[in-house]
Structure 1
Amino acid sequence: MSDELARAAELIHGAGALLVCAGAGMGVDSGLPDFRGDEGFWRAYPPYAKLGLSFEELADPRHFADDPGLAWGFYGHRLALYRATVPHQGFALLKEWGERTPGGVRVFTSNVDGQFQAAGFTGVAEAHGSIHHLQCLENCTDDIWPADGTRVDLDEETMRAREPLPACPRCGGLARPNILMFGDFEWVPTRSQAQLDELTAWRREQRDLTVVELGAGQAVPTVRRYAELASAASGALVRINPREPQIRHGRGVSIAAGALETLLKLA
C-alpha cells in the first residue's frame, strides 16, 4: 500500500465521524457519462453533437420557456438514466465506514442524480438540487414536489420530449426540475437549504471529523471548497481525483485515481 493510501486509511479508520463530499466523478464508475468538456458530453449524447450544443448551453433554464421540448428532452433522458443506474460498490463501502464511527456519516454533493439516496444514505445535502424533485416554471408557488411517477416520452433520435410534458399540479403550467442550472435565478432553494442547515448543525457536534472528497473538479469548485472548509481545523481531508488531486498547503491526503478503484484499495 502506498503512503497516501495508508494515511487515508488511518484517517478514515480513526474518524469520529465521516463527511463524504462528492462531485460528478463519483458517478462515473456507476456508468454515468462524464460531461467533462464538450467532447465527453457529445460522446454521451451524439444528437447534441450534431446540433453543436454543449452541456452548459443545454443546462440553461431559459429553454423551458423558449423550447420546452428541447429542455425536457435533455432532463427527461437524464431522469430516466439516473433512475436506472445502480450505485457502484464504493457507495456501500463509504456507508459502512461511516456507520462504524460514533458520529455517523453525512454527504455533501453537487450531484443531482440521487445516487447516494439509492445507495441507502440519509443525511444527504444536495447543494445544486435534485432531478428527482420538480418546481413550477412560473413560480405560482414555491412548492417543491417529488418527481415520482413522472415519465417523459422521448424521441431519442432528436432528443426532444413529446407532449404531455411534466406540469405543475397547482396551476397546470409547465414544471421544471428543482436543479440549479447555469444563470438560474428562478431555482427554488428551500429544500437544499434545509439539507445544508441540517448538515451544518451536525458538523458542529462532531469531533475528529474526516472528510473524504471524491470526483470533485475545479471547474465548478462547490464541493472542493466545502470539503476544504469542513476539514480546515484538522487537515483530515482525503481528496480522491484522477485529474485534479492537488491539495493546497499540504492540508490532507491527495490520491490521483478514480473513486471506486481507490475505495476498493482502501477496503
Structure 2
Amino acid sequence: MRDEYRRAAEVLHSADALLVCAGAGMGVDSGLPDFRGDEGFWRAYPPYARLGLRFVELADPDHFADDPELAWGFYGHRLALYRATLPHGGFDILRAWGETKPGGVAVFTSNVDGQFQRAGFADVAEVHGSIHHLQCLAHCGAGIWPADDVVVDVDTTTMRARPPLPSCPHCGGLARPNILMFGDGDWLGDRSQAQLDAYTAWLRAARSLAVVELGAGLAVPTVRRQAELASAAGGTLVRINPREPQVRHGRGVSLPVGALEALTALDALLNS
C-alpha cells in the first residue's frame, strides 16, 4: 500500500483546491457510531436491540407525530452525543491542507453532526441537514432555527424523552430536527440548499482539484457519487474507506484504512 499512499500524496501536493467528501465513517475515530447495519446500530444503542427497533425505523419522521417521546429520545440522545464529541485530529489535518491551497477547501457531507464546523471549516454543504437546527412539525412558517438552547432529557433505559419536548418558538407546537429522514416529505431544505448553491459555485471556480473522500459507504451513495463526479475530469479521487475502498475504472487512489490513520500517514508524507 506504500505506492498508493505515494500516489495519493502526489495528488494532494499538486492540487490547487481541496474538496472533502465525508460520510458517517469520518466520525468513527472521534468515537461516533456509524450505524452500519442493524448489528452495528444495536451495539451503539443496546436499548433499541431489546426493543427490536432498527435505525431505519427510528429515523422516520412519522414518529414525531405518532410517538414524539420515542422520536426525541433517539434524536435528543444523538444531539447530546454530538455536542460532547470532539473532532479527531484528521479534521485539523484536512483544514491545514486546505489553508495551503490557493482555491481553499470545501466540504460536502451527508453527516448531520456538525463536526466540520466545530473543527473550524467555513464552507460546508450538509446535504442531509443538521441536528443542530430545528423546524416546526406543523409548518407554521417559523422556518429553520438553531437548536443551541435545546436540551432533551432522555431516559437511557427506555430511550424515551421526558417532557417538555422541543417546541416551535413561533406557534408553540412540537419541533423536530432539520434532518432529511427516510421517506421525509416534510423536511425544509432551504438551509441545505443555500449551502449547496455556495458549494456548486465554489466547485465551478475550482481548478486542479483534489477530492478526498472519507468513510462514505455504498448503502447511501450520495457522497461517493459526488466525489466521483467532482473528480471525474482529472481522476484525482483519494478514497479512504476500510470496508468499501474500491475505485471504479481505476479513476483514483484507494486506501482501505480508517480516516485518521490514512490522513496522519499522508500528512507525514507531505511534510517529509
TM-score, normalization: structure 1? Answer: 0.99
Q: How far apart are 1:174 and its partner, in Å?
A: 0.3
Residue 136 (structure 2) aligns with? 136
Q: Which amino acid aligns with 2:41?
A: F
Say yes or no: does 1:247 pair with 2:247: yes
Residue 161 (structure 2) aligns with? 161
- SS of the aligned residue for 2:132 comes to strand
Residue 114 (structure 1) aligns with? 114
Structure 1 CA distance for aligned equivalents of residues 155 and 206 of structure 2: 49
Deviations 1:39-73 (A, max 9, x none): 11101111100110000000000000000000000
Structure 1 CA distance for aligned equivalents of residues 48 and 20 of structure 2: 33
The answer to whether the Cα contact below 8 Å between 2:142 and 2:169 also exists between their aligned partners in 1 is no
Q: Which amino acid aligns with 2:172?
A: G
Q: Which amino acid aligns with 1:15?
A: A
Q: How far apart are 1:142 and its partner, in Å?
A: 5.6
Structure 1 CA distance for aligned equivalents of residues 83 and 141 of structure 2: 26
Deviations 1:194-221 (A, max 9, x none): 0000000011111101000000000000
* Unaligned 5+ runs, structure 1: none
Within a 5 Å distance, the mapping from 1:1-267 to structure 2 comes to 2-141=2-141, 143-267=143-267
The answer to whether the Cα contact below 8 Å between 1:142 and 1:188 also exists between their aligned partners in 2 is no
Structure 2 CA distance for aligned equivalents of residues 187 and 59 of structure 1: 13
Structure 2 CA distance for aligned equivalents of residues 151 and 142 of structure 1: 20
Deviations 1:167-203 (A, max 9, x none): 0111110000000000000000010000000000011
Deviations 1:82-134 (A, max 9, x none): 00000000000000001100000000000000000010000000000000000
Q: How far apart are 1:34 and its partner, in Å?
A: 2.6
- SS of the aligned residue for 2:216 comes to coil
Q: How far apart are 1:14 and its partner, in Å?
A: 1.1
TM-score, normalization: structure 2? Answer: 0.97
Q: After superposing the two structures, state which structure 1 stretch, 222-231 or 139-148, moved more.
A: 139-148
Structure 1 CA distance for aligned equivalents of residues 18 and 7 of structure 2: 15
What RMSD in Å do the two structures reach over aligned CA positions?
Answer: 0.7
Q: Which amino acid aligns with 2:18?
A: L
* Unaligned 5+ runs, structure 2: 268-272
Structure 1 CA distance for aligned equivalents of residues 165 and 30 of structure 2: 28
The answer to whether the Cα contact below 8 Å between 2:142 and 2:170 also exists between their aligned partners in 1 is no
Q: Which amino acid aligns with 1:225?
A: R
The answer to whether the Cα contact below 8 Å between 1:166 and 1:174 also exists between their aligned partners in 2 is yes
The answer to whether the Cα contact below 8 Å between 1:76 and 1:152 also exists between their aligned partners in 2 is yes
Residue 270 (structure 2) aligns with? none
From the superposition, tell whether residues 186 and 142 of structure 1 become closer, same or farther in structure 2 (CA, over 3 Å): farther
Runs of 4+ in 1 over 2 A off after TM superposition: none
Identity %: 76
Structure 2 CA distance for aligned equivalents of residues 150 and 15 of structure 1: 41
